[in-house]
Each structure stands twice: as structure tokens, then as C-alpha cells.
């Protein structure tokens, strides 16, 4: 009797075990499914958070770019306005300079005219250029800066005796400033000691010491 009971119990146990195992498997599947859903929910939450952060960052960057664009436009407009003001000022100054230049030139010409009218025989003073004067035996006249410059200017005259007799020319040279004040003078040729034979050509030199710091603008050659 006991053996039959044990056999029945074992049979019952063997009969119940597969079902029990299926229940355990279903429960395990449900737990796995629940974990998967939770992981999916967490992943979706993280993805949504990342999307929001990215959207916020993009919006902030866009606002910064818009702000920089407006700032750059304002700076460009300000610089353009400043440039236009400077161009206007330059044009105004150029016009004033042109008017002043014309006025200065007219004044200079008026002073030149008054000076030359007041002192006959004045000619423009030039450096390192051949100058010609209306004196028969003076072939050429020129000036150059003396060495050292503190000594003023050196005058050179080329005298030609185109006659058939001896001549004894006497020449004096004087320098004048822009308003006709004499600033230097010297005798260039002393006829009492110098003589030129017929058809002779000679050069004569003299150094002119300029008084003060007044620059010469005219010269006059005098034949005594």
C-alpha cells in the first residue's frame, strides 16, 4: 500500500512539474519584458532630454549669431558714416586749400610785380641753372651753393670780349629777398685790375655771404 502511495505521489510530482516549469518561464518572460520596457522608456527619456538640450543649444547659438550679425551691421554702419564724414571734411579742406593756393599765388605775383617795379633790373634767382642777362659782354651767369653752405652762394660769370680791342668790364652782383630787401652783394669783376684781350673769354667767381637767414629770391647784375 505504501509503495502504491509513493508511486502515485511520484507520478503526481512528475505530472505537475512541467506545468510548474512553464509558469516559472512565463513569469521570467514577463519580468524580462518589463525590464525591456523600462530600459526603452529610459532610453526614450534620455533621447528626449538630449533633443531638448540640443534644441536649446541651437536656439541659443542662433540668438548669439543674430546678435553678432546686428552688432556687425551697426559697426559697419557707424564706420561708413564716419568715413563719409571724413570724406566730406577732406573735400571741404581740399576746396579751401585750392582757394588758399590761388589766393597765395595771386598775392605772390602781386608782390613780385611790386618788387620788380620798385627795383629795376631784378631777375629770378635760381641755383645750378645758366642765367642770361641783358649785358653785351656777359655770356652767361650762374649761382650755386657755396661750400660750406654757411658762406652763402657762389656766383660765376662768363665774360666774352667779342671786340677787336681790350675791354675792362666792371660788374657787381646783388641778391634780394622776396620783398626786395638786399641780403648780399659783391663786386664780381674789377675793371681797374682785370682786362680782356680781343676775342678772349674768361670766367670770374665771387662768393656772396647772405645776411641772416633770409633766402634770396632775386638777383641784379650791375655793369659800372
* Stretch 129-155: mean pLDDT: 86
The H or E element that residue 97 is part of is helix 2-118
* Stretch 41-68: mean pLDDT: 87
Instruction: Quickly state the pLDDT bin for 29 (edges 50, 70, 90).
Output: low
Instruction: Quickly state the pLDDT bin for 13 (edges 50, 70, 90).
Output: very low
Tens-place pLDDT, residues 99-131: 888 878 777 777 777 777 788 889 999 999 999
Report the mean per-residue pLDDT for the chain.
83
DSSP conformation letters of 6-73: HHHHHHHHHHHHHHHHHHHHHHHHHHHHHHHHHHHHHHHHHHHHHHHHHHHHHHHHHHHHHHHHHHHH
What span, in angstroms and rounded, lies between the C-alpha atoms of 94 and 125? 31
Does 174 have pLDDT greater than 70? yes
Q: What is the pTM of this model?
A: 0.54
Instruction: Quickly state the pLDDT bin for 23 (edges 50, 70, 90).
Output: low
pLDDT value of residue 114: 74
pLDDT value of residue 103: 79
Does 19 have pLDDT greater than 80? no
Amino acid at each position: 500500500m505504501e509503495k502504491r502511495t509513493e508511486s502515485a505521489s511520484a507520478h503526481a510530482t512528475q505530472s505537475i512539474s512541467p506545468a510548474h516549469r512553464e509558469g516559472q518561464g512565463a513569469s521570467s518572460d514577463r519580468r524580462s519584458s518589463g525590464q525591456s520596457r523600462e530600459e526603452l522608456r529610459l532610453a526614450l527619456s534620455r533621447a528626449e532630454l538630449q533633443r531638448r538640450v540640443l534644441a536649446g543649444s541651437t536656439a541659443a547659438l542662433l540668438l548669439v549669431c543674430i546678435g553678432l550679425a546686428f552688432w556687425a551691421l551697426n559697426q559697419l554702419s557707424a564706420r561708413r558714416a564716419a568715413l563719409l564724414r571724413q570724406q566730406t571734411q577732406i573735400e571741404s579742406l581740399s576746396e579751401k586749400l585750392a582757394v588758399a593756393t590761388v589766393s597765395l599765388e595771386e598775392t605772390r605775383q602781386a608782390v613780385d610785380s611790386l618788387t620788380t617795379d620798385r627795383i629795376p633790373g631784378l631777375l629770378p634767382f635760381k641755383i645750378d641753372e645758366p642765367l642770361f642777362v641783358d649785358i653785351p659782354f656777359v655770356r652767361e651767369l650762374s649761382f650755386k651753393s657755396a661750400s660750406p653752405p654757411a658762406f652763402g652762394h657762389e656766383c660765376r660769370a662768363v665774360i666774352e670780349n667779342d671786340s677787336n680791342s681790350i675791354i675792362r668790364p666792371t660788374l657787381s652782383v646783388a641778391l634780394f629777398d622776396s620783398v626786395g630787401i638786399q641780403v648780399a652783394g659783391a663786386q664780381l669783376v674789377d675793371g681797374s685790375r682785370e682786362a680782356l684781350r680781343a676775342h678772349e673769354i674768361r670766367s670770374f667767381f665771387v662768393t656772396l655771404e647772405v645776411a641772416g637767414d633770409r633766402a634770396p629770391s632775386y638777383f641784379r647784375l650791375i655793369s659800372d
